[in-house]
Amino acid sequence: MNPILELTDVTRVHGEGANQVHALRGISFTAHAGELVAVMGPSGSGKSTLLTIAGGLDQPTAGTVSVEGTHLGGLDLQGRARMRRTSIGYVFQGFNLIPALTAAENVALPRELDGISARAARKEARTALDEVGIGELADRFPDDMSGGQQQRVAIARAIIGERRLILADEPTGALDTETGEEILQLLRARCDAGAAGVLVTHEARHAAWADRVVFLRDGVVVDETGADRVDVLTEHAAR
């Protein structure tokens, strides 16, 4: 079974000469459909860089990244933007909703940017909001919502349009424990429904929701647990 996200020997170097910082050093990493992978590690270990490169917001210095079989390195800015609209969804710690747009409009944003009609986009957005359990808040502005509600909107935005790769960067960081658990439950459910998820977190208990945990330190993978889950999935697919 082909992975949804595949990073091969990815290196990312910031700066030049004496100021050079190696954020990632030859990392290889995969996430398959139905799999939630947690990425853990101390600050500066390269977790966030991994996520920005996986989403095409940044380019690796060396190595390749492919999403659903498409090499991001072979795409221009336009092409990578299209991938984010159609294949990759982001969830951030700070929610990153646009305060000037309603919940439904925030969720509909990738679809509208993709050029489908505003009416159709809004319909899809309502379905997505229903899926994350806040369909009734569709016309509220972010400033009038709680943190948990905002993050649900953000998840709805990340899954709209049948996107199969969800990249979540500390999605529970700004939430209380209970709400945080609910959000992770949502992410887990999306992955069980067929998406591939990458969850950057520094809390071990959140990693418990993942099928696999990858530990990073100084830009290299130092440990990986639960790889058997992938084997099970692969075998399942082969059958």
Where along the sequence are the contacts to other proteins (CB under 8 A)? 48, 51-52, 55, 57-58, 77-78, 81-86, 88-90, 92-94, 96-101, 105, 109-110, 112-114, 118, 143, 157, 169-170
The least CB distance from residue 144 to other proteins, in Å, is 10
What is the C-alpha to C-alpha distance for residues 116 and 7, in angstroms, rounded to an integer?
31
At residue 57, φ and ψ (nearest 5 deg) are: -80, -20
Residues in CB range of 180: below 8 A, 6 or more apart: 172, 206
Report helix, strand or coil for 28.
strand
The least CB distance from residue 218 to other proteins, in Å, is 19
Q: Which residue lies nearer to other proteins by CB, 113 or 120? A: 113
CA distances from 18 to 22, 25, 57, 60, 211 (A): 12, 17, 25, 20, 39
The least CB distance from residue 84 to other proteins, in Å, is 3
Q: Which residue lies nearer to other proteins by CB, 143 or 231? A: 143
The least CB distance from residue 83 to other proteins, in Å, is 7
Q: Which residue lies nearer to other proteins by CB, 24 or 230? A: 24
One-letter amino acid of 3: P
What is the C-alpha to C-alpha distance for residues 57 and 43, in angstroms, rounded to an integer?
20
Q: Which residue lies nearer to other proteins by CB, 34 or 148? A: 148
